[in-house]
Amino acid sequence: MKLTADLMLGRPLEETEERSLPEFVEDLRERMDRIHRFAREKLKIHSDKMKQRLDTTSTETAFKPGDAVWLYAPKRTKGKSPKLQSNWEGPYTIIKKINDLVYRIQLSPRSKAKVVHLERLAKYTEHNPPNWFVVEDPPPRTEDSVIRDE
């Protein structure tokens, strides 16, 4: 029975003559290298397609310190249907942007800060966002600070 891989890569030839062990090993190595190159090419093509699809569907959202956000934190309470429970907590306030994907958020001035991934955050769009967080402006630059920076 011929499989798809046999049609694409060919089947091993039915050898009527005997080959030496080094010849057999070299032939086997060449065939395996060809198959691995073929598989790597296909994996690269499919990973590029997956990345392109992800990039077209994802939205680039960036938050800045002081922004109000919802946190996705699903909970399962015994005796309640998960469908009817709220999966979002908040509003949290962005305290610091650690890198492009990770943020430090805090619920209130006295609560413990959390470090969360961007995909667990959503913009808070209600009328009364929390206003306890004050974004501090950096001090104005003077000639002394310019000299020290150099």
Residue 135: predicted pLDDT:
65
Residue 150: predicted pLDDT:
45
Query: Whole-model pTM above 0.75?
Result: no
Split at pLDDT 50, 70, 90, the class of 146 is low
Topology annotation, domain 68-123:
SH3 type barrels. (2.30.30)
Q: b or e along 120-145 (b: 16 or more beta carbons within 10 Å of the residue's beta carbon)?
A: ebeebeeeeebeebeeeeeeeeeeee
Q: What is the mean pLDDT of the chain?
A: 83
Task: Give me the residue spans of the domains in the chain.
Answer: 19-57, 68-123
Which helix (DSSP H) or strand (DSSP E) does residue 123 occupy? strand 121-123
Residue 39: predicted pLDDT:
92
Average pLDDT for residues 116-124, to the nearest whole number? 92
Three-state DSSP string of 63-121? CCCCCEEEEECCCCCCCCCHHHCCCEEEEEEEEEECCCCEEEEECCCCCCCEEEEHHHE
pLDDT tens sequence across 18-57: 778 888 889 889 989 999 999 999 999 999 999 888 878 7
Q: Using DSSP, state whether 122 is helix, strand or coil.
A: strand
pLDDT of residue 105 exceeding 90: yes
